[in-house]
């Protein structure tokens, strides 16, 4: 087989070698001196977010000796976050930064022979394009493209030039092709008049956060890109989206995920398909589950596909947990390997020998890695302790590459060696060095109806033993999610303000089984409120929280629950409701949850009493006495700003101290660094005003 790298000979000579950036360098020798006194640790501050990097996406080289990964950092001058590609040896002795363009880089992937590293970037190519010996002129193409660089150094070279950019990509096993995931682009408008055309909308779910109004009939499909000829061939097409694509080990086929029902907006079905890796091939549907089938992964021998399947076999899925499933490459009835576990199982990966499947398991306040037998589903827990683990990639027998975080350490890359985690990267050392962080511990409270509820408690580093402190109950969103023993910047920041901070996995949360999660369906603001008040009662009874200095807050469903809590009790002296709503009825058809409304509550003209019941924060706003800060992103289509505006207007009318903060141009998640800092500063100022 002719290697593609003959074409790429001399790649490293096209540019200057990259500089190596070690994480830390040994100090120069010096004469012995008296040891300096250690610097005093200080509390976390909102502007510390500018110092906090984010480590992600570790990729093991084919020879198993190196790991490529991304590190994102904040540029405070440009007020944005950018990412770069780094590389570290598996023993941790060598660590280098490989890229440094202003546009940033992501999705590092090794060529099958390990000589080259590819990545995605929206940077523009230099005059000397890859494979050309003379300068060329190419039209500027927007969006991220695939780039290639010699792992030994040299400037990255642009590999694709596709209008609209590349969503995702994967190398073929023989290294000659890339499997690209691309989204259709609108036809170019060559007219001189650039007035925006009216949005013509006919979709059932016509709004989506970030995406906006869904009036464009554009779909995502799979393509094959020949690296030598740069020819792009269509692999899938049609009026549906195809994603999650992975090559079979021999490169003959591709598995992917698609919803090919008549109206995908009206259900949450996805199925696993396979297709021969040749243009003109017809996809073959392997699964027929009415719910969701996702994340296919081929076995090393190419005979089976491991994937995750929803528990619910329904058009509508909200309160659910994925099950690890196994299927023949030819289809048939799947084996449900984790069916009896009653916990969410995600991110399946095969061991190199094909004798086990490693996956993440979400349990009460933790995410651990476990090994499942593909024969009988027997589970063996690989990790333990108060920390969380990310997806794993096989290194060798018993050894895995993963990420991990604990309450006082943000995510770093780890090597799991025979069940023992070894920290590989140390990007967080500089961030953590000057800080005195809160300690974190678990607790269990009992709600008024007898339900046992799990929680977490952040205690300020300055707190003395037995000291009673002001409490901030900061509520997670979802509701299907949970707080765990991972690093939590917001709660650490609040604790640094001198508060004890509580997180509560109220009913509706993950990690406690399907019944615990699904019990709140269609009954919002009821059992969750009992659980949250029960946790506060417990912390007061234990002498941890000062009953005269209680506060509450949260974002998304956490903001919604904040509104429910202040409308059900006047015990809180301050509240901060982010991206919430207190009048559910008014958001029917206004947000992106039309399926949830119609399936859980019913249409308003049929279920008006149920809507009024769960809209009590606004309808009974005259009960609220808590000074409340409302916050929202201007362009939020998830929980639109109207939800916060209505509650603000009600409290303003009633004379209750309140303020409304709207972040310009932001969606449901606030992403601009200066706004993230501003939100933390406002939390601390608002709580400080009413609790201190």
Give the pLDDT confidence of 303-352 residue by residue, as tens digits: 999 999 999 888 899 999 999 999 999 999 999 999 999 999 999 999 99
Backbone dihedral angles phi then psi of residue 124, each to the nearest 5 degrees: -100, 145
Mean pLDDT of 483-496: 98
H/E stretch holding 549 = strand 545-555
Q: How far apart (Å, rounded) are the C-alpha atoms in residues 502 and 443?
A: 9
Average pLDDT over residues 261-284: 96
Task: Report pLDDT for 189.
Answer: 62
pLDDT at position 22: 38
- pLDDT classification of 191: cutoffs 50, 70, 90: low
> For 205-219, 488-502, 651-665, which range has the lowest pLDDT when averaged over its residues?
205-219
Angstrom distance (rounded) from CA 88 to CA 59? 10
Average pLDDT in the chain:
91
Separation between Cα atoms, residue 571 and residue 552, nearest integer Å: 10
The stretch 360-370 carries a mean pLDDT of 97
Q: What pLDDT sits at residue 14?
A: 28
DSSP character for 493? H
What's the pTM? 0.90
Given this model, what pLDDT does residue 631 score?
A: 98
Element (H, E) at 121: strand 116-121
Asked if residues 186 and 218 have their Cβ atoms less than 8 Å apart, the reply is: yes
SS3 109: strand
What confidence category does residue 529 fall into, taking pLDDT thresholds of 50, 70 and 90? very high
* Mean pLDDT of the region 615-629: 98
Q: Pseudo-torsion of CA 318, 323, 329, 335, nearest 10°?
A: -130
Q: 436, 532, 401: which is closest to 90 by C-alpha?
A: 401
Question: 392, 314, 359: which is closest to 67 by C-alpha?
Answer: 392
In tens, the pLDDT along 387-442 reads 999 999 999 988 999 999 999 999 999 999 988 999 999 999 999 999 999 999 99
What is the three-class DSSP state of 516?
Answer: helix
**Phi (first) and psi of residue 601, to 5 degrees:** -105, -40
C-alpha 374 chain-centroid distance? 28
Average pLDDT over every residue of 359-375: 97
Q: What percent of the chain has pLDDT over 70?
A: 91
Decide: residue 556, CB within 10 A, 0-12 exposed, 13-18 middle, 19+ buried: buried
Q: Give me the residues paired with residue 553 across strands.
A: 474, 576
Bridge partners for 585 per DSSP: none
Nearest-angstrom CA–CA distance, 302 and 286: 15
Residue 35, pLDDT > 90, answer no
Residues 72, 291: Cα–Cα separation, whole Å:
35
| 14-28, 174-188, 220-234: the lowest-pLDDT one | 14-28
Rounded Cα distance, 329 and 554, in Å: 45
Please report the pLDDT score of residue 137 as a whole number: 35
Can you tell me whether residue 626 is helix, strand or coil? coil
- pLDDT at residue 135 greater than cutoff 90: no
Q: What length does the chain have?
A: 692
Residue 26 DSSP one-character state: P
| pLDDT, tens digit, 9 for 90 and up, residues 409-423 | 999 999 999 889 999
For the chain, which domains are there?
Answer: 1-23+50-127+144-159 (no CATH), 436-691 (3.40.50.1820)
């Amino acid at each position: 087989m002719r290697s593609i790298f003959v074409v790429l000979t001399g790649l490293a000579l096209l540019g200057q070698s990259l500089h190596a950036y070690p994480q830390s360098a040994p100090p120069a020798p010096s004469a012995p001196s008296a040891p300096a006194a250690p610097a005093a640790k200080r509390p976390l501050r909102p502007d510390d977010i500018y110092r906090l990097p984010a480590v992600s996406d570790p990729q093991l080289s084919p020879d198993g000796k190196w790991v490529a990964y991304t590190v994102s950092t904040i540029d405070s001058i440009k007020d944005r976050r950018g990412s770069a590609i780094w590389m570290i040896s598996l023993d941790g002795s060598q660590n280098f930064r490989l890229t440094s363009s202003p546009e940033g880089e992501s999705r590092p992937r090794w060529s099958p022979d390990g000589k080259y590293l590819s990545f995605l970037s929206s940077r523009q190519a230099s005059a000397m394009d890859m494979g050309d010996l003379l300068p060329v002129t190419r039209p500027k193409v927007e969006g991220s493209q695939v780039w290639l660089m010699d792992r030994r150094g040299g400037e990255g070279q642009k590999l694709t030039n596709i209008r609209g950019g590349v969503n995702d990509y994967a190398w073929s096993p023989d290294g000659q092709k890339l499997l690209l995931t691309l989204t259709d682009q609108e036809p170019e408008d060559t007219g001189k008049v650039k007035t925006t055309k009216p949005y013509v909308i006919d979709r059932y779910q016509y709004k989506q956060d970030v995406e906006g109004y869904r009036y464009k009939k554009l779909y995502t499909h799979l393509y094959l890109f020949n690296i030598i000829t740069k020819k792009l061939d269509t692999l899938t097409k049609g009026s549906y989206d195809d994603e999650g694509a992975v090559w079979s080990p021999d490169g003959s086929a591709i598995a992917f995920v698609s919803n090919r029902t008549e109206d995908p907006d009206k259900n949450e079905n996805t199925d696993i398909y396979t297709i021969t890796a040749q243009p003109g091939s017809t996809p073959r549907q392997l699964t027929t589950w009415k719910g969701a089938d996702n994340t296919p992964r081929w076995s090393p021998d190419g005979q089976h596909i491991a994937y995750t399947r929803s528990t619910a076999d329904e058009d509508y899925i909200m309160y659910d947990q994925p099950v690890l499933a196994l299927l023949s490459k030819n289809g048939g009835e799947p084996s449900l390997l984790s069916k009896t576990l009653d916990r969410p199982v995600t991110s399946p990966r095969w061991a190199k020998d094909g004798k086990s499947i490693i996956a993440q398991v979400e349990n009460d306040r933790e995410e651990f890695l476990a090994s499942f037998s593909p024969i009988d589903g027997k589970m063996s827990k690989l990790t333990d302790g108060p920390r969380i683990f990310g997806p794993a990639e096989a290194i060798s027998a018993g050894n895995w590459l993963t990420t991990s975080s604990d309450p006082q350490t943000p995510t770093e890359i780890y090597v799991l060696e025979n069940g023992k985690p070894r920290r590989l990267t140390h990007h967080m050392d500089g961030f953590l060095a000057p800080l005195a962080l809160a300690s974190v511990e678990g607790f269990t409270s009992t709600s008024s109806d007898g339900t046992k509820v799990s929680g977490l408690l952040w205690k300020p580093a300055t707190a003395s033993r037995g000291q009673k402190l002001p409490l901030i109950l900061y509520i997670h969103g979802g509701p299907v999610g949970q707080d765990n023993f991972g690093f939590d910047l917001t709660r650490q920041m609040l604790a640094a303000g001198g508060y004890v901070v509580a997180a509560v996995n109220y009913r509706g949360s993950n990690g406690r089984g399907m019944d615990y999660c699904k019990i709140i369906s269609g009954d919002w603001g009821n059992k969750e409120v009992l659980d949250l008040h029960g946790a506060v009662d417990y912390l007061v009874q234990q002498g941890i929280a000062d009953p005269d200095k209680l506060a509450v807050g949260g974002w998304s469903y956490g903001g919604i629950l904040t509104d429910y809590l202040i409308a059900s009790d006047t015990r809180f002296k301050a509240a901060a409701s982010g991206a919430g709503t207190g009048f559910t009825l008014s958001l029917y058809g206004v947000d992106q949850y039309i399926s949830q409304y119609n399936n859980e509550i019913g249409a308003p003209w049929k279920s008006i009493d149920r809507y009024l019941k769960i809209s009590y924060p606004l309808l009974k706003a005259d009960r609220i006495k808590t000074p409340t800060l409302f916050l929202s992103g201007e362009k939020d289509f998830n929980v639109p700003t109207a939800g916060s505006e209505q509650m603000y207007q009600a409290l303003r009318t009633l004379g209750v101290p309140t303020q409304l903060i709207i972040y310009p141009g932001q969606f449901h998640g606030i992403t601009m660094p200066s706004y993230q800092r501003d939100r933390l500063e406002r939390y601390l100022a608002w709580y400080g005003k009413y609790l201190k």
